[in-house]
């Protein structure tokens, strides 16, 4: 991010942006003011400072855990490692988690954590020390546990950090039979679920694919139905962006540009995502990728000609100063809060379709929910039904072959016979969740004549949260 834009983005209270979106949605509902205030506010904010010995020096680390809503327990939300982490950001990300979980019917309250460090310049050994100390701080304050608060990966963290968190929790909670469920996004070898790593990017893909199937919406932005041949730009080639890019590429979309911290690369005929990753691993940068043009100012990549723009890095990257220059017809918010409210208004007037973060990047928490359930049930998905389904399918095929007096080709037979594996069940659960979520938002938008998908998504979330308050009998 250039210095100029950084100061513009820093001027924002990210939390107030979310409050604005919430208030817009509240206008469509007749709910008591006090109850709306309760839903909006963060239930608990915990800021900590702890010492860690780095080399010969003692460094004081600033970190947070925010539990936005206790209307459902446990709370759930990722942990971010970034030098830009601050209380406002963590509170906002926690609030987004509450709304996200409500939209995709995941029974958690929203939470988020953050540690103010730059993992790119800290050794692995020291990241481990910081992660373990942060976890013990959470344990000390009862801010982590399978039924209390369950962290997950976010910007700057991944499977590695989650397994350190689990290991620390386990060693300090002897005999806790459900300890595996204290954190999600773990490696499969340590109780993770197959399909979690790519879940957010795949969810982004499912959500945009569903939108591109809608004739009415595609007509409104002058695009053909379907993803094939659509020009896509992705900002951020981390966990979310990389997997989203791969799924779009595999579905026949043309990835015309990819943007990273150091710059962007462009090729109007399309970039091969896996070759870009090989190049990145070899050279340490996406720049100078063969047959592509370098764009030094990485933010300029957002303004290139394309059909679909996927910001998958950080918040506030599309703001009032560049919104008018955005040429995309669809923006898929893979990152949290990439579009400021001012930019949202400008883009809305231009007719750009924005698929909001609180729905679109919910794939991660959805599959985290599957992982949590797996850990609590202590059994791998598919273990009970795989062989049973295969036996049933074999019998069914035999009946079909006998009654039709025709042999089914062996390759087709193999496909039909196969019982569900864990990855199949996780992906089908995710696909179903993303498709259902999209249509719930779309139907609400139409029936209440709501101006855009973001407001409709907030209306859906608020309604769901009110429902659970009523079920609890707290606010009859």
The residues binding ligand NAD (CB under 6 A) are 1, 153-156, 200, 235-241, 259-261, 298, 312-314, 334-336, 361, 364
Stretch (H or E) spanning 35: helix 33-40
CB of 357 closer than 8 Å to CB of 101: no
Q: How far apart are CA 237 and CA 264, in angstroms?
A: 11
- Please list, in sequence order, all residues whose beta carbon lies within 8 angstroms of the beta carbon of residue 280, skipping any fewer than 6 positions away: 237, 260, 286
Q: How far is the CB of 302 from ligand NAD (least distance, A)?
A: 9
Residue 94 or 143: the one with the smaller Cβ distance to ligand NAD is 94
Residue 135 or 361: the one with the smaller Cβ distance to ligand NAD is 361
Q: How far apart are CA 460 and CA 104, in angstroms?
A: 10
Q: How far is the CB of 70 from ligand NAD (least distance, A)?
A: 21
Closest CA relative to residue 115, chosen from 132, 134, 128: 134
DSSP 339: B
Residue 426 or 450: the one with the smaller Cβ distance to ligand NAD is 426
Assess whether 141 carries a catalytic annotation.
no
Beta bridge mates, 113: 65, 79
User: Distances from the Cα of 202 to the Cαs of 179, 195, 270, 358, in angstroms?
Assistant: 28, 9, 20, 15
Q: Residue with CB nearest ligand NAD?
A: 238
Residue 90 or 466: the one with the smaller Cβ distance to ligand NAD is 90
DSSP 314: -
Q: How far is the CB of 394 from ligand NAD (least distance, A)?
A: 38
DSSP 182: G
Residue 181 or 245: the one with the smaller Cβ distance to ligand NAD is 245
CB of 232 closer than 8 Å to CB of 308: yes
Rounded (10°) CA dihedral 410, 415, 418, 421: 150
Rounded (10°) CA dihedral 296, 301, 305, 309: 160
Q: How far is the CB of 232 from ligand NAD (least distance, A)?
A: 15
| Cα 288 versus chain centre, distance | 29
Residue 336 or 452: the one with the smaller Cβ distance to ligand NAD is 336
Q: How far is the CB of 171 from ligand NAD (least distance, A)?
A: 26
CB of 184 closer than 8 Å to CB of 190: no
3-state secondary structure at position 207: helix
Catalytic, out of 40, 72, 76, 112: 112
Stretch (H or E) spanning 6: helix 3-10
Stretch (H or E) spanning 250: helix 239-250
Q: How far apart are CA 207 and CA 203, in angstroms?
A: 6
Q: How far is the CB of 52 from ligand NAD (least distance, A)?
A: 21
3-state secondary structure at position 104: coil
Q: How far is the CB of 298 from ligand NAD (least distance, A)?
A: 5
Residue 1 or 35: the one with the smaller Cβ distance to ligand NAD is 1
Active site residues: 112
């Amino acid at each position: 991010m250039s210095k100029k834009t950084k100061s513009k983005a820093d001027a924002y209270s990210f939390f107030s942006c979310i409050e604005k979106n919430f208030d817009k949605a509240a206008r469509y509902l007749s709910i008591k003011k006090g109850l709306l205030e309760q839903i909006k506010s963060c239930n608990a904010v915990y800021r900590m400072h702890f010492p860690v010995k780095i080399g010969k020096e003692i460094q004081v680390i600033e970190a947070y855990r925010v539990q936005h809503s206790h209307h459902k327990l446990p709370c759930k939300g990722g942990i971010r490692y970034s030098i830009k982490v601050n209380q406002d950001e963590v509170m906002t990300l926690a609030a987004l988690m509450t709304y996200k979980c409500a939209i995709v019917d995941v029974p958690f309250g929203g939470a988020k954590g953050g540690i103010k460090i730059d993992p790119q310049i800290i050794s692995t050994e020291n990241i481990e020390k910081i992660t373990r100390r942060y976890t013990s701080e959470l344990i000390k304050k009862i801010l982590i546990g399978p039924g209390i608060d369950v962290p997950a990966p976010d910007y700057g963290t991944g499977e590695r950090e989650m397994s350190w968190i689990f290991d620390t929790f386990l060693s300090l909670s002897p005999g806790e039979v459900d300890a595996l469920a204290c954190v999600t996004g773990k490696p499969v070898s340590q109780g993770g679920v197959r399909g979690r790593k790519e879940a957010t990017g795949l969810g982004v893909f499912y959500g945009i694919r569903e939108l591109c199937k809608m004739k009415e919406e595609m007509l409104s932005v002058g695009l053909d139905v379907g993803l094939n041949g659509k020009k896509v730009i992705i900002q951020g080639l981390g966990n979310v962006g990389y997997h989203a890019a791969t799924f779009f590429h595999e579905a026949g979309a043309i990835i015309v540009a990819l943007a990273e911290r150091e710059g962007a690369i462009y090729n109007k005929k399309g970039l091969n995502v896996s070759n870009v990753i090989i190049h990145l691993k070899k050279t340490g940068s996406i720049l100078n990728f063969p047959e592509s043009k370098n764009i030094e100012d990485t933010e300029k990549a957002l303004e290139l000609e394309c059909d679909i723009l996927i910001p998958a890095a950080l918040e506030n990257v599309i703001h009032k100063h560049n919104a008018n220059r955005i040429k995309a017809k669809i923006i898929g918010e893979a990152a949290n809060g990439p579009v400021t409210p001012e930019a949202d208004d400008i883009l809305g007037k231009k007719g750009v379709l924005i698929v909001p973060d609180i729905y679109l990047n919910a794939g991660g928490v959805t599959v985290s929910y599957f992982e949590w359930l797996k850990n609590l049930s202590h059994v791998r998905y598919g273990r009970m039904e795989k062989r049973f389904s295969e036996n049933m399918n074999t019998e069914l095929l035999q009946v079909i072959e006998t009654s039709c007096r025709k042999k089914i080709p062996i390759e087709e037979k193999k496909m039909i016979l196969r019982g569900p594996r864990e990855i199949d069940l996780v992906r089908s659960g995710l696909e179903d969740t993303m498709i259902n979520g999209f249509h719930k938002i779309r139907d609400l938008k139409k029936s209440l004549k709501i101006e855009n998908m973001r407001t409709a998504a907030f209306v859906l979330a608020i309604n769901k949260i009110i429902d659970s308050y009523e079920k609890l009998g707290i606010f009859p």
